[in-house]
Amino acid sequence: MKRLIVDMDGVLADVSAQFIAYDERDTSRRKTVAEITGLPELEMVPRANEYLRMPGFFRNAPLITGSREVLEQLNRRYELFVVSAAIEYPKSLGEKVEWLGEHFPFIGWQRIVLCGSKHIVRGDIMIDDHFKNLDFFEGRTVLFTQPHNHGQDSRRHERVNSWSEVAALLL
């Protein structure tokens, strides 16, 4: 059984949508996706770096469409691990495990990894929205489209724009 490593933020959890929601609460104006497209994550909204450290930011993040249904099927076909680079935000750690328990109850605690750098994990396939994670992975690499990686050359990585495209690729 092949080992599939799936990222959390920007692949399962819609962190960009959460940035837009928090920014709207502060500014009373809702940014459009077009406005944030192409910007680095931490520059999408002025207070992004603060929002990431606020209690509840990760706990209440919305799901990316289709992720639950497709991941449940992938979980039967692959040795699935969810790997999130989260240690930089210690307050997020418990929230992330709770969030996964709520939305992805079929993923046991044995299959969750919270790390600083993803260089240390090994597997056969990685789905991630960041080049910094995919570029160092030894196996097959799948880039999940997010506003921050829009238009970037995907080089050796296969790009997918949605969870239905993940399903078409891996199921």
The two three-digit tokens of residue 121, written as one number: 């994990």
Task: Read off the DSSP letter of residue 82.
Answer: E
Q: Is 167 in the site for a second copy (CB under 8 A)?
A: no
CA–chain centroid gap for 120, Å, is: 18
CA distances to 21, 55, 94, 98, 108 from 58, rounded to whole Å, are: 13, 8, 10, 10, 19
Residues in the chain, overall count: 171
Closest approach, Cβ 42 to a second copy, in A, equals 16
Q: Is 39 in the site for a second copy (CB under 8 A)?
A: no
Q: Is 98 in the site for a second copy (CB under 8 A)?
A: yes
Among 115, 168, 169, 171, binds a second copy (CB under 8 A): 115
Binding-site string for a second copy from residue 55 to residue 94, where x marks contact by CB under 8 A and - marks none? --------------------------x-x---xx-xx-xx
Q: Measure the CA angle with vertex 120, ends 154 and 95; round to 5°.
A: 90
Q: Is 112 in the site for a second copy (CB under 8 A)?
A: yes
Binding residues for a second copy, rule CB under 8 A, total 26
Q: Measure the CA angle with vertex 107, ends 101 and 110; round to 5°.
A: 105
Tell me whether residue 92 or residue 147 sits nearer to a second copy (CB atom): 92
Residues of this chain that interact with a second copy (CB under 8 A) are 3, 5, 81, 83, 87-88, 90-91, 93-94, 97-98, 108-117, 120-123
